[in-house]
């Protein structure tokens, strides 16, 4: 029991270090992408009028992932910003996937189940998003 | 107003929102929504979308530091994330059916509640009573206090779980982290030490916000031109705030100033919401 306990603690701290790095890199990378997109956008459209009083959704060329990627290649500012936002959104989701892998290494079946359940809820939410 | 002026105003406002949010522990999201809607007349749906994205940035950024220190309880976080993500999913769906009036009143109420919570005296209490459920879920753990590991137990898991469900719904409906509700669930109901509660709450906020952000992103609530200065400003403000916190221990007067500002904003949001100006 004593040995097993020691082993488990070691893996828990391992997981903490990996998760800490993952979160940090995710935030750095996505914010950098957002800022680059912002510079492109402001350089080209900085003098246009800002009017967001009524809700009109987002421009047509960034409405789905395929269009966003296509326009990122064309260096369109709003598409690059949106890519950065998607990377930021993916960071905590990746964290859940990494936790699941960590619990697999620890053979902690209960928490593998819990991590997968959380992932499934997020996936269900993403799939329902188009509706309504 | 030109796009460049709009971006600069939001950038500066978001910086101070992030700074104050981090100094008081309230989070930047609660200040950025009134700033965008009341001052810049941005549609509340865009404001909620942008705030939600900034919440993911600040919570992930500070969670990275806390996780390494070993105070965050990853198992408590993962287990309660079942409740917060399910709640956030529900909240994002409910958001289609509720009126702007309802959202404004709810937002104002949560804002005032958060301000009161931030003034509360923080007492560390440790429960050693280990329940069957917390043992079964392996939630009991230990955390470092002045270099020594202190063991703690977790009480009233069902009560905390339901409170987290509620916190998730609020987060999904309003685009905020609802950290105050999460801390109330862990520290107040589950009797988890305050430091563990706040860091674990912070750890959970990113995943909770992501669960509703996947819905908002597809509905077009996250506009890149608004979200860009909000995310960048709030994040840099939060980083500055955490640096100030290291150097100054007491921020008692600041909490009061912020609580008053937040309450005034809350009343404004409720009034403008009820009179149909939002």
Please tell me the total count of domains within chain B. 1
The token pair that represents B171 in the structure block = 């987060």
Domain count of the fold of chain A: 1
Q: Which of chain B's residues have a Cβ under 8 Å away from the Cβ of A82?
A: 222, 224
Q: Tell me the CA distances in angstroms from B21 to B98, B183, B202, B238, one per residue in order.
A: 27, 15, 13, 7
Q: Is B278 within 8 Å of B104 (Cβ atoms)? A: yes
Contact residues, chain A, for B32 at CB < 8 Å:
none
Both structure tokens of A16: 């903490």
Structural domain including A93 reads: 2-45+61-128
Tell me which of B29 and A42 has the higher pLDDT. Answer: A42
- Residue B78 has its nearest CB partner, among A13, A82, A114, at A114
Give a yes or no: residue A10 inside a domain.
yes
Residue A83 is predicted with a pLDDT of 97
Residue A76 is encoded by which pair of tokens? Answer: 């369109």
Q: Which residue has the tokens 């430091």?
A: B195
Nearest CA in chain A to B61: A24
- The answer to whether residue A51 sits within a structural domain is no
Angle, alpha carbons B161-A125-B51 (nearest 5°): 80
Cα B182 to Cα B185: distance, rounded to the nearest angstrom: 5
CB of A71 within 8 Å of a chain B CB? The answer is no
Whose structure tokens read 């706040």?
B198
Residue A6 lies in a domain: yes
Residue of A27, A78, A89 with shortest CB distance to B214: A89
State residue B131's pLDDT score: 82
Tell me, rounded to whole angstroms, the distance of Cα B19 from its chain centroid: 14
Please give the interface size between A and B, counted as residue pairs whose CB atoms are below 8 Å apart: 201
Of A112, A117, A119, nearest in space to A94 by CA: A119
Write the pLDDT tens digit of every residue in A62-109: 988 999 999 999 999 999 999 999 999 999 999 999 999 999 999 999
Kindly list the residues from chain A whose CB atom is less than 8 angstroms away from the CB atom of residue B79: 114
Residues 48-67 of chain A with CB under 8 A from chain B are 48-50, 52-58, 62-63
Looking at residue B148, its pLDDT comes to: 87
Question: What is residue B120's predicted lDDT score, i.e. its pLDDT?
Answer: 79
Q: Walk along chain B (278 residues) and give the pLDDT tens digit of each residue.
A: 899 999 999 999 999 988 888 877 777 778 899 989 999 999 999 999 999 999 999 999 888 888 888 889 999 999 999 999 999 999 999 988 999 999 999 999 999 998 888 887 777 778 777 788 888 899 999 988 888 889 999 999 999 999 999 999 999 999 888 888 998 899 889 999 988 998 899 899 999 999 999 999 999 999 999 999 999 999 999 888 888 776 665 567 777 887 888 899 999 999 999 998 88
Domain that holds residue B67: 3-274
* Rounded CA separation B278/B275 (Å): 8
Q: Which residue blocks in B1-124 are alpha helix, DSSP H?
A: 3-24, 29-34, 44-69, 74-97, 100-119
Pairwise CB contact (< 8 Å): A125 & B214 = yes
- The pLDDT value recorded for residue B114 is 87
b/e sequence B55-77, b meaning 16+ C-beta within 10 Å: bbbbbbbbbbbbbbebbbbbbbb
Q: Please write the tens of the pLDDT for every residue from A2-13.
A: 344 445 555 678
Give the model's pLDDT for residue B218.
92
């Amino acid at each position: 029991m004593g040995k097993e306990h020691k082993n488990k603690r070691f893996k828990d701290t391992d997981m903490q270090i990996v998760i800490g790095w993952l979160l940090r890199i995710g935030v750095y990378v996505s914010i950098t992408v957002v800022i680059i997109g912002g510079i492109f956008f402001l350089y080209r459209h900085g003098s246009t009028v800002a009017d967001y009083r009524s809700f009109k959704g987002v421009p047509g060329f960034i409405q789905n992932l395929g269009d966003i990627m296509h326009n990122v290649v064309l260096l369109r500012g709003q598409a690059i910003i949106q890519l950065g936002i998607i990377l930021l959104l993916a960071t905590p989701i990746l964290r859940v996937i990494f936790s699941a892998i960590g619990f697999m290494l620890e053979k902690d079946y209960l928490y593998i189940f819990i991590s997968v359940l959380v992932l499934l809820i997020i996936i269900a939410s993403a799939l329902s998003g188009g509706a309504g | 107003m030109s796009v460049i002026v709009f971006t600069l105003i939001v950038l500066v406002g978001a910086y101070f929102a992030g700074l104050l949010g981090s100094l008081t522990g309230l989070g930047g999201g609660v200040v950025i929504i009134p700033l965008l809607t009341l001052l810049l007349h941005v549609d509340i749906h865009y404001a909620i979308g942008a705030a939600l994205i900034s919440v993911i940035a600040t919570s992930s950024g500070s969670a990275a530091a806390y996780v390494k220190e070993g105070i965050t309880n990853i198992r408590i976080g993962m287990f309660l994330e079942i409740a917060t993500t399910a709640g956030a999913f529900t909240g994002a769906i409910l958001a289609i059916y509720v009126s702007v009036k309802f959202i404004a009143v709810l937002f104002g109420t949560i804002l005032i509640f958060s301000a009161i919570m931030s003034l509360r005296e923080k007492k560390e209490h440790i429960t050693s009573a280990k329940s069957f459920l917390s043992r079964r879920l392996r939630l009991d753990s230990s955390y470092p206090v002045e270099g020594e590991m202190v063991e703690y137990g977790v009480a009233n898991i069902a009560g905390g779980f339901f409170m987290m469900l509620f916190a998730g719904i609020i987060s999904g409906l309003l685009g905020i982290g609802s950290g105050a509700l999460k801390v109330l669930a862990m520290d107040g109901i589950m009797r988890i030490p305050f430091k563990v509660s706040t860091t674990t709450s912070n750890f959970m906020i990113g995943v909770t916000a992501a669960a509703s952000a996947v819905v908002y992103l597809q509905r077009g609530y996250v506009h890149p031109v608004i979200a860009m200065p909000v995310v960048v400003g709030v994040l840099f403000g939060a980083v500055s705030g955490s640096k100030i916190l290291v150097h100054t221990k007491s921020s008692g007067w600041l909490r009061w100033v912020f609580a008053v500002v937040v309450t005034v904003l809350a009343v404004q949001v409720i009034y403008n919401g009820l009179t149909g100006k939002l």
